[in-house]
C-alpha cells in the first residue's frame, strides 16, 4: 500500500529539518545574540547620555557633536545659552534640527531666544539701546524658528510678542543688517588717526 501525499509531505519536511536543523538553530542563536548586543549597546549609550545631561544640568560642560543624541544636544544648547555663549549654542541647532525631533528643536530655539532677550533687556536697563537691537532681532528669529517646529508653543508665541512690542515701543531697536551692527561711516572716518575732517 502506497503512502498518502500527506504522509509523503510530512516525511519530506522531516528530512529537510533533520538536514538543516543545526544551521537554523545557529542562525536563530546568532540573531538572538545580535539583538541582545544591540540592546546592551543602546542601554550603555543611554546611560552615558543621561550622565552627560546630568553634568550639564549641574553646571559642568560636556562636549557634543552632530552624532550626539538629540536630547544631549538640546541640553547643551540650554547650558551654553544660559552662559551667553550664543555662537556655540547656535552652531548646535543645525544638527539638532536635522535629527527630526521637532519638540526638542522647538525647546532649544526657545531657550536660545530667551537668553538673547535677557541680554537685550540687560543692555536696555543700562541705557544701551543701539547694542540691544541685534539681540532683540536674534531673539525674535529664534522664537519664530521654535514656532516653525511647534506652532502651538504658547510660551514662544508670548515671548515673540514681547520682543515685537520692544521694537514697536523703541523703533531704534529695529535692525535690518543681519547679525552685525551697522557701521557709522562718520564715526569710522573721524576716528582714524590723522584723517582729515569732512569728506575725503
Would you give per-residue pLDDT tens digits along the chain (200 residues)? Answer: 456 777 777 777 777 666 666 676 677 777 877 777 776 666 667 677 777 788 888 888 888 888 888 999 999 999 999 999 999 999 999 999 999 999 999 999 999 999 999 999 999 888 888 888 899 999 999 999 999 999 999 999 999 999 998 888 776 666 544 454 444 444 333 333 443 444 43
Q: What is the pLDDT of residue 48?
A: 76
pTM over 0.85: no
**How does pLDDT run across 17-26, given as a tens digit for each residue?**
666 666 766 7
| CATH assignment, 61-181 | 1.25.40
Give the three cell numbers for residue 72. Answer: 544631549
Q: What is the pLDDT of residue 196?
A: 41
**How does pLDDT run across 58-90, given as a tens digit for each residue?**
888 888 888 888 999 999 999 999 999 999 999
Q: What is the pLDDT of residue 19?
A: 67
**How does pLDDT run across 112-123, given as a tens digit for each residue?**
999 999 999 999
What are the sequence ranges of the domains in the chain?
1-60, 61-181
Amino acid at each position: 500500500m502506497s503512502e498518502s501525499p500527506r504522509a509523503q509531505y510530512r516525511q519530506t519536511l522531516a528530512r529537510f529539518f533533520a538536514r538543516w536543523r543545526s544551521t537554523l538553530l545557529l542562525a536563530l542563536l546568532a540573531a538572538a545574540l545580535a539583538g541582545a548586543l544591540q540592546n546592551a549597546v543602546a542601554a550603555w549609550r543611554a546611560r552615558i547620555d543621561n550622565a552627560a545631561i546630568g553634568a550639564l544640568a549641574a553646571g559642568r560642560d560636556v562636549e557634543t557633536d552632530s552624532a550626539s543624541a538629540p536630547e544631549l544636544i538640546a541640553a547643551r544648547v540650554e547650558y551654553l545659552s544660559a552662559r551667553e555663549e550664543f555662537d556655540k549654542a547656535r552652531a548646535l541647532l543645525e544638527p539638532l534640527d536635522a535629527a527630526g525631533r521637532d519638540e526638542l528643536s522647538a525647546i532649544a530655539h526657545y531657550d536660545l531666544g530667551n537668553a538673547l532677550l535677557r541680554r537685550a533687556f540687560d543692555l536696555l536697563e543700562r541705557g544701551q539701546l543701539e547694542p540691544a537691537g541685534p539681540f532683540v532681532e536674534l531673539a525674535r528669529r529664534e522664537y519664530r524658528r521654535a514656532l516653525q517646529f511647534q506652532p502651538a508653543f504658547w510660551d514662544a508665541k508670548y515671548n515673540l510678542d514681547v520682543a515685537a512690542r520692544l521694537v514697536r515701543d523703541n523703533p531704534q531697536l529695529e535692525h535690518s543688517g543681519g547679525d552685525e551692527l551697522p557701521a557709522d561711516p562718520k564715526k569710522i572716518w573721524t576716528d582714524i588717526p590723522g584723517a582729515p575732517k569732512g569728506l575725503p
